Structure 1
């Protein structure tokens, strides 16, 4: 057997004249970077130079088959460099095209995750054999990063599966396990034994010396389901843009380009479609949307997952037994999240029946999982046994961590923590699930403030991926490390912030609801306010959000803050609080679950703006440009995020971006509220803030931190 190392591609040719190319590039994963481009080009040249060759197998020496494109490299590409990028993509595609048109069969032996560019390599092989293991997945996540599969992924998918079957994989960024990959038609064979993967590939090569060409390179090939002229395809293409716009609101160019490219692929020959695909990716790489999403959801998210916000030099911690004080909506959600992660839970409430009711939530969620085939009855029983309902503090003895999840009342929170501390002793870490109350103030009223920290869950706990950890002034590094490890243990994403009224997420989210109330008080049609908020990319409008939060809660929180003598940046001048207090006092409109607020709610779940709002606030003569309305909604939140960074509430830019995306619902295209400023341009941002100040008030003054960064020609990173 002859062996060569071609820039990290291990090239071995056996006695049967089958070449095995094992990708083992520098770094922890194989990626489509400069090293890859050189390695693949020279490898294909060598394959073509072979005098006797029976077939080729591509596999990986790493646990991941191939990680895809080099996103850091893509971030360096600027607007105006599209042509250079196009030429580089074309070179990559040229090598893959040569690979699939060899005079011998080429097989992908997929031994690990093959996503994005990695899966495009697989599709350029004539046959795909996949290890049957849960960690081995294939797919195209590019759209989730503002990109598209540009090394042939879109074109080959359409020619392999047809438009109807390929679109969901391309537009939704789905990852497929072995069984799903076979069912989709992307993979041909599964192998259960990793050691037998290469041999299975060689066996296939030996038995397919006459029938191995790609479908699109055979005569009389037709695209499954029909081409551009098929009546069904014509109908699908007619309605697809509207359906897509309903999802993206025109804010994300990648899905639109993918849909357009699919249409082009149906209309032109294979190689022309490949060139169009390369042009499309070259364009998307330079868009601010892609740069924003890649920066936050890849670079910064990976930093957070690698524990960038966790204290160093403190060993890992595992919570074996968790105590929860309060079995209401939040407490029961936390109990469910912990139990499915394998943690024993004591769910304590004032009465045993209240605690039992809280446990029923987990049973309900597990029953849903059984109905969907996601778990068995035995698994359900095992998880339920993890939760012990209780009305006694004595049952909390032995807990590694205790989370307080009672109502948002300072006196009540300090009371239950103090009572629990008396029983469990001094070594237990306590966390409060408050969404706004300062951790330092809670800790000052109980023993051992260094062992008190905030762990802010979002509702509904089972669906929301983010948890905001809040350090009080005296929270110790050890306490933070335990809280951080617990959040990861229950498979949530942690951000770490410093203490402040409202912390980061609630404080910024409050400006969203407040600006909605200000726009209403300015006289704008409430339907217009909601519509333009969604056009910015917010999941729902500020008035609908306030109804969900409830005017009653806003009123009570404001009253609590006045009693405590603490205020967020809104001070006691919150338009949202003023409107809420008026609606409650004069019309008993306390929110969705209090009979209605800004909206009326029907039994069928539908809602409509409460008509009385028009006589109370609407002024038809008021005219504000749509762009001003959208900027007011967006800039309020961005400015507040920058203030949190400036004041040290945010410990990092990454925490701010990930927190705003996963916790607040910041529009995905922004990449998070701080990243948005980078691609908007700091000078442009300051100029726009000045314009908004002149029209609408001092709340739009650009924070000092932006002015300083702009003066130094720096960005937020």
Structure 2
């Protein structure tokens, strides 16, 4: 895409329009399904695709033109096609290729830009292009660009957003960023991706001169991953056959990327590694900027703004967008790791040197584990770590775009930190609280800028759990929410956005289940058996282990808060059990002991013998009629599903988006795998599979023993009393 000469917004100052999970405009499940079933797409004229095995091949073909250009029509059809491919579970990877000999994509449609009457219209074009290419870049299904002919401007931006690039080795295949020659600059993310791909000097050379790069040189630069002879070494062939052969090769690489027999990681020579290391140093970059700006001023006399704007936006991407993380504990250090690992400059702040050292060591260990697995080199590890600064003060916070607070789950501490932060951060900076259950509007109550306050609920361990729950209040601005989503996607997370409320969605569903775990333990079932029973059902993490992972202190605070909000329905085991564990220092994994003993390098954990005394104080009489392995499983599951149904009935959630969080398995809930691939796994899919009436029967059985905590919600009763009625038709 092309953009006017104003720089794109900084990393976290994006303005994407997103749909909120709690929006009143959400359709009811049945309405959503009808639209899914009966929506008819108009015939596509610019983009087509077919599926070969498990690889989708997307073909660009602008009608009545020798070249492909990024027009509104092509962009719309491309978006439709990609959404269909991402929704198709049979497709594991994709190839982008042109049906036109001699042209991959020659750039954006200049007429489309000329037709814009205001700068806002051009900005919208640029943002739409950025949004689509971000989805390409973040795609879990590898995407290969198969390039033959001209790959210029917006075409190059499409290619470098892909995970792998293959180009034909012939004179007609050229790559370039010629926007500067039109008084424009790359507007769909090229100013940010190109320097990271080929290095700052080479990127400036391409964007400031607009010169074309031949395929063989592009390979040496790292702009292209593989070169392909038209039909094999020394064979002459018509251009159509060249495209056919290129497609065959690209399909092979796409399939290899998906099954991990091919690596998208580019090997770099010693000179490139040294250059990258030097460019990571701020004072070296400043010298490069100074030299480049001087040359541009000398050649243009300052009369051509486009080259200077290109330099400006590259600098913005490399030098600005600082993220700050408050608290270097287990969660804070994990957030810092997934941020710095994805190229975000990160400040990690703690109040004590001991805590800071422990947090920095955790980040180092996480990255060093990748070195041991050979997914990173030690040089790359050190280069990544150079983007993280550990400190005990607020130095540098005046340049932060976002601060993620990960301090103790206490409203008074969070209020204190928020006030301190707002005294030093710039006006545009976002304050995000990592909390499991504290209402965000309560946290924001002391803020001078509540529109900039949001919740970002990560799951432990942060570097392994995919889910990120973003929580908005009535005062949270849309820009703030969009920026939080952008950061989460940058960190590689599966993101859901929910409205503020006690326990949000994830903790609210887990709360009753974990309360039931406490009761099961008090009834004399030891933690190892609880874990074995729950994982045998399909839970990815044992139920007792999950409490250790969450943190017993956090679980205690959550139980108290949810108990106040929802009363007896959230009861179960005695909260005194968890409080005594906290008093004894049995906080879970982060403290080295909880229900289990945690030791570095020891996989087969032993039970914490200190828990015998704790459990003895809270022992409950066993209930043989509801304590079989199956009953224990169903006591946990029915409370989880019942609360999820309660959420669906009380809050205008969108059923398919609410289940998105279960895809990541971060929630600690069983996947409930669907027999129908388009339907996401989750509690409602399980209710359909097991049967709402059967679930209600189980709930009634346990209600007779334990009371109102197992009373089925009205929504489940409605489905149970309507034979054949399902959450997913």
Q: Given the two structures, how large is their TM-score scaled by the length of structure 1?
A: 0.53
SS in 1 for 2:669: coil
Aligned residue pairs, count = 450
1:629 aligns with 2:629: no
Looking at structure 2, the residues matched to 554 and 342 of structure 1 have their Cα atoms a distance apart, in angstroms, of: 32
Structure 1 residue aligned with 2:726: 715
Looking at structure 1, the residues matched to 382 and 85 of structure 2 have their Cα atoms a distance apart, in angstroms, of: 43
Structure 1 residue aligned with 2:342: 341
CA displacement at 1:509 relative to structure 2: 2.4
CA 639–547 in structure 1, closer or farther in 2 if over 3 Å, else same: same
8 Å contact kept, 1:502–1:568: no
SS in 2 for 1:497: strand
Q: Deviations over 1:361-380 (max 9, x none)?
A: 33333333334332344433
Looking at structure 2, the residues matched to 489 and 441 of structure 1 have their Cα atoms a distance apart, in angstroms, of: 28
CA displacement at 1:70 relative to structure 2: 11
Structure 2 residue aligned with 1:520: 521
Looking at structure 2, the residues matched to 669 and 406 of structure 1 have their Cα atoms a distance apart, in angstroms, of: 34
1:675 aligns with 2:679: no
Structure 1 residue aligned with 2:268: none
Structure 1 residue aligned with 2:642: 639
Higher RCO, 1 or 2 (CA under 8 Å, sep at least 6)? 2
Q: Deviations over 1:492-527 (max 9, x none)?
A: 110111112222222222333211122233444655
RMSD over aligned Cα, in angstroms? 4.7
Structure 2 residue aligned with 1:507: 508
CA displacement at 1:325 relative to structure 2: 2.0
Structure 1 residue aligned with 2:537: 536
8 Å contact kept, 1:524–1:620: no
CA displacement at 1:453 relative to structure 2: 0.5
Structure 2 residue aligned with 1:193: 227
Map 1:246-261 onto structure 2 (within 5 A). Answer: none
CA displacement at 1:448 relative to structure 2: 1.5
CA displacement at 1:440 relative to structure 2: 0.7
8 Å contact kept, 2:341–2:384: yes
CA displacement at 1:400 relative to structure 2: 1.8
8 Å contact kept, 2:662–2:671: no
1:706 aligns with 2:712: no
CA displacement at 1:452 relative to structure 2: 0.6
Map 1:397-546 onto structure 2 (within 5 A). Answer: 397-524=398-525, 527-546=528-547
8 Å contact kept, 1:503–1:649: no
Map 1:26-65 onto structure 2 (within 5 A). Answer: 29-31=49-51
Structure 2 residue aligned with 1:6: none
8 Å contact kept, 1:467–1:495: yes
Q: Deviations over 1:424-446 (max 9, x none)?
A: 24322111111221101000121
8 Å contact kept, 2:466–2:664: no
SS in 2 for 1:374: coil
Map 1:64-83 onto structure 2 (within 5 A). Answer: none
Looking at structure 2, the residues matched to 70 and 491 of structure 1 have their Cα atoms a distance apart, in angstroms, of: 16
SS in 1 for 2:642: helix
CA 136–579 in structure 1, closer or farther in 2 if over 3 Å, else same: farther
1:665 aligns with 2:668: yes
Looking at structure 2, the residues matched to 347 and 444 of structure 1 have their Cα atoms a distance apart, in angstroms, of: 25
SS in 1 for 2:348: strand
Structure 1 unpaired stretches of 5+ = 1-23, 37-61, 75-111, 119-132, 138-190, 204-316
CA 71–404 in structure 1, closer or farther in 2 if over 3 Å, else same: closer
Structure 1 residue aligned with 2:699: 689
Structure 2 unpaired stretches of 5+ = 1-43, 57-77, 91-135, 144-161, 167-224, 238-315, 674-680
CA displacement at 1:336 relative to structure 2: 2.0
CA displacement at 1:347 relative to structure 2: 2.3
CA displacement at 1:632 relative to structure 2: 0.9
Looking at structure 2, the residues matched to 403 and 481 of structure 1 have their Cα atoms a distance apart, in angstroms, of: 15
Q: Given the two structures, how large is their TM-score scaled by the length of structure 2?
A: 0.53
Structure 1 residue aligned with 2:101: none
